[in-house]
Structure 1
Amino acid sequence: MPVSPSFRTATPADIPGLVALIQSAYRGDASRAGWTTEADLLGGQRTDADMVAAVVNDTSGRMLIAETDGGVLAACCQLENRDGHAYFGTFAVRPDMQGTGLGKQVLAEAERLARDEWDAAEMHMTVISAREELIAWYVRRGYVRTGELSPFPYGDERFGLPKRDNLEFELLVKKLR
């Protein structure tokens, strides 16, 4: 069923709901209701209140929220303005709303903001390279695999508990203008 979200920038009052949303989209049994789960790759937390607060309070970017009718927190993403390009991360859609087109709408709004408000030439993101289905989703939306890899932060439990020893991130890039 299509969703027509409204968008706004997160405030500190949104932090607890954002932590719950992000955790539910990526970790634990609840995340298995959607297709973005990382539960087979990582256990533990995906984020915490301090990490989300750092994004919400960062003056070089914003945490974008998508809400449905009634103000239900449905999705979010992090945007950072980084010297000519924008960084896209912390993207989460409620597992029970995945497959409705909401994720495409959030990504399109993030790209529009980066291009129109920051004059960003490109959008950058990093994705765990083992997430082939997710990478394919981004490629269908115009992102290009760069082959540029960076290590997963093994040993830093703030980012989760790896269930395999070959995790790494790949940089994906899309031209915005």
Structure 2
Amino acid sequence: MAQKTEMTALCTLINSVYRGETAKDGWTTEADLLSGQRCDLTMLNELITRPNSGFLVLGNTEEMIACCHLQLAAAEVAECGMLSVTPAWQNQGVASALLHTAEEYARNTWQARRMRLWIIKQRPELAAYYRRRGYHFTGTARPFPKDSRYGIPKVAGLRLLAMEKALARPS
């Protein structure tokens, strides 16, 4: 799990993957749907200080290349969010490896039986990515947050859809 001292680097990574011109170098960009930031330091510091919440990080000796937020959301349900891989490392299996690590961590540390994530409805390529990894839609939806800390919508009607995956019990 990331340390509090890594929050600035995490914030830079997450924002560079989802928003702005640099995000357009990768397939995970939300820059056509949202402007502004994806997160800020206050948000990340709040998340890291919650019980059963933290950031998994992958990096090499030069840089932080990937991260995701992981939290225990309810009894036996973990949530994964802000899965971020710098564009130069995308399409190399990094996100899949990190997601698998997050699932293992949730199952082994919190005894989670399901992993949940929220995707923007208007991102069908993201839904397809998670479907290939065993996630399915739950039927639960909610409006995109109106808090500008999450970004400023460029299109009307943004919605978040829940996807879940059952986490296999170790044999």
Per the normalisation by structure 2, the TM-score is 0.94
Alpha carbons of structure 1 residues 95 and 142: separation in structure 2 relative to 1, 3 Å: same
Range 53-62 or range 115-124, more displaced: 53-62
Number of residue-to-residue matches in the alignment: 167
**CA–CA distance in structure 2, aligned partners of residues 145 and 28 of structure 1:** 28
Range 42-51 or range 80-89, more displaced: 80-89
RMSD: 1.0
Post-superposition CA distance 1:17-38 (Å, at most 9, x none)? 0010000000000001110000
1:75 is aligned to 66
Structure 1 outlier segments of 4+, above 6 Å: none
Q: Are 2:25 and 1:33 equivalent residues in the alignment?
A: yes
Q: How does 1:131-142 map to 2 (within 5 A)?
A: 131-142=123-134
By how many angstroms is 1:95 displaced? 1.3
**CA–CA distance in structure 2, aligned partners of residues 55 and 72 of structure 1:** 22
Q: How does 1:1-177 map to 2 (within 5 A)?
A: 9-68=1-60, 70=61, 72-82=63-73, 83-154=75-146, 156-177=147-168
Per the normalisation by structure 1, the TM-score is 0.91
**What code does the residue aligned with 1:133 have?**
E
Post-superposition CA distance 1:54-97 (Å, at most 9, x none)? 122222221111112x1521111111113111011121111111
Alpha carbons of structure 1 residues 23 and 149: separation in structure 2 relative to 1, 3 Å: same
Amino-acid identity (%) = 38
**What code does the residue aligned with 2:56 have?**
L
**CA–CA distance in structure 1, aligned partners of residues 14 and 89 of structure 2:** 13
Structure 2 portions without partners, runs of 5+: none
Structure 1 portions without partners, runs of 5+: 1-8
